[in-house]
Amino acid sequence: MQIKSILGLPFETLKEEFIRNGFSLLDAKRVFPWIHPKLVKTFEEMSDVPKRVREKLPDFFSLERPICKILQESSDGTIKTLLEFKDNNCIETVFIPDEKRNTICVSSQVGCPIGCRFCNTGTQQFCRNLTSSEIMAQIIFWIEWQKKLNADPITNIVFMGMGEPLLNSQNLFAVLEILLNKKTYNFSRNKITVSTSGIVNDAIVELAKFGVKLAVSLHASNDKKRSELMPINNKYKISEVLSAVQNYHKLSNTSHITFEYLLLDGINDSEDDAIELSKLLRKFGGARARVNLIMFNSWNGSKFRGASDEKANYFSKILLSRGIRTIIRKSRGRDIFAACGQLKSEDKMIYG
């Protein structure tokens, strides 16, 4: 019989699993608070659960954490870890400290099936979706890490790591349900961001029910150029993506939608590109759009170069002058391959 990890099961799912395996509703009610938010590592620690139940639980369920294989700290304080799961598959997850917040970047898949040309993760062969427990385990890792250091708690969570979250939506939703639960972590929906490459399916509608922030990887303002950078655009054109995002904005009641735009030298960083992008987003609804301009973070084998600081500043000024709120996002953890577009767990040679 396969033992099931219950780290990422919302209470209703946990209850169903317990009843199916011969436990009672009361057992589930007693166990759940020990998992979240107490984060015990063994069933034996659950002091108000009857001994006979505690002894039986390991036959069916697990609280096992992944193994931390590698931990690296950047010169700017960013920390990246390589976590290994029971089947020996690995993912990377990142902790980004700042003066006013502590953000963690969480992965949703082993590898990525999207294959964006500029992304190191896209060069890794896609293996599988992460389970809800494997996604939750990353968050638990960083919560426990901060507690061990007696440091400030995690304030923000971004699902921007390895993989496409909306292609693993049900496991993502299970984790969101746990995080937003007032009796567990009580995260604000405004402190959680889900990133997508522009997947237009039922998942984006279902995600709106959680009301979390949405970040859309745009990276070009016309279909021809975007398809060259992001093959997913051959399936979901920009007009379809923007239509779905407008619907998300309405259903989720979020204040704005973030559009990620990676500046690549000589490819999408010209004055014409900036003007075209501003027109596109003004049509979308300029006040509802926020643009994060991202500086390219190099990785082994990449054929791209990042735009210069001067070009980035000029690009930003054009957007701002046309009423589009824009920031140039600061790269963090670049020296340990922890920055945007650098994560990869397949080739461990990059760790030296």
Catalytic residues: 92, 340
CA distances to 21, 217, 266 from 272, in Å:
62, 19, 12
Cis peptide before 37 (omega within 30 of 0): yes
What does the alpha-carbon distance between residue 111 and residue 126 come to, in Å, rounded to a whole number? 4
CA distances to 84, 96, 150, 277 from 336, in Å:
18, 13, 24, 32
DSSP secondary structure of 86-130: TTS-EEEEEEEE-SS-EEEE---EES-SS--TT-SGGGSPP-EEP
Residue reference for tokens 């998300």: 248
What does the alpha-carbon distance between residue 145 and residue 153 come to, in Å, rounded to a whole number? 10
Sheet (strand 90-97) strand order = 67-73, 79-84, 90-97, 102-105, 156-159, 192-196, 213-217, 257-263, 289-295, 325-329
Cα-Cα end-to-end distance for the chain: 39
CA distances to 31, 57, 228 from 52, in Å:
13, 9, 60
What does the alpha-carbon distance between residue 313 and residue 264 come to, in Å, rounded to a whole number? 13
What does the alpha-carbon distance between residue 258 and residue 252 come to, in Å, rounded to a whole number? 14
What does the alpha-carbon distance between residue 320 and residue 290 come to, in Å, rounded to a whole number? 10
Residues 6+ apart with CB under 8 A from 161: 91, 92, 93, 94, 105, 106, 107, 108, 138, 343
